[in-house]
Amino acid sequence: MNAGYLKLELRRILREPGTLLFVIGFPAGFYLLEVIIFQADWPEGAGDGPAAYLMPGMAAWGVLISGMLVGSRVVNERQVGWQRQLRLTPLSSTGYLLGKVAVGMVVAVPPPFAIALVAAVVFGVRLEPAGWVSVTLLMSLGGLPFAILGLLIGQLGTRENVQQMTIIGMLVLAIFGGLFIPLDTLPTWFTYISYVTPSYWLSELGKAGMTDIVGGSVQNAILAAGMLVAWTVALSLAVVWRYRHDSART
């Protein structure tokens, strides 16, 4: 991966404060709303309350939307011929794709930390160090397949439909991954569907250190990491195939 190109991409992101505000402020605001809604019906004495229980799901939501926003930028570059122009430079196709994924990963780092900050400061959530690490650092690293998914959407979509594809993808992954509503409150068949979504496993990865609150464990974390790696490989192959197909066509 070309360091100069990566630096350029990061500078472009930092020049768009609205994007950073959205990927940080929207998940944090949604988390506040979710906790307020669930607090009204939360049984007294049932664990540490909705603030701690909902934290992994909302952190996963922030990572998900941050990574998938890569798609809109990729579509614009394809439409204006930027990708074709880059093929005439020393920058390799691998370097270009890795640069995009790296930017998606960087943008996905702040949301889980923002969620954790809101949980601790506003709602007084207290976790063991392992719990904070799993719901922040591990979840940030687990955002890799979503950054690749955003890149794939950017390679498949057009300016006219990329927004719809991204929003629908976000909502499907969030709803069927159990990020908005705890799965134990939904029908059993819903849980079975969630097992095939990467968003569910990202949330499970965040629960790894929260053993006393949501029943997380090292075994679940290993399984979640394995499923996310499998999604990463599958989506990477799809991105490479699409990029080569697009290159051959142009």
| Domain assignment of residue 130, given as a range | 3-249
Tokens found for residue 9: 């991409």
CA angle 75, 140, 213 (to 5 degrees): 135
Which of 100, 118, 10, 141 has the alpha carbon at shortest distance from 58? 118
- Which residues have a Cβ under 8 Å from the Cβ of 188 and sit 6 or more positions away? none
Q: 11-20, pLDDT tens digit by residue?
A: 777 677 677 7
Tokens found for residue 75: 């579509």
Place of tokens 């923002």: 114
Q: 146-188, pLDDT tens digit by residue?
A: 999 998 998 888 878 888 898 999 999 999 998 888 787 778 8
Q: Are 166 and 24 in contact (CB under 8 A)?
A: no
Give CA–CA dist 138/239, Å, rounded. 24
Residues 57-76 as b or e (16 or more Cβ within 10 Å = b): bbbbbbbbbbbbbbbbbbbe
Q: Are 6 and 94 in contact (CB under 8 A)?
A: no
The count of domains in the chain is: 1
pTM for the model: 0.87
Give CA–CA dist 130/188, Å, rounded. 30
Give CA–CA dist 142/64, Å, rounded. 10
Q: Which pLDDT belongs to residue 222?
A: 87
Lowest mean pLDDT among 75-89, 97-111, 234-248: 75-89
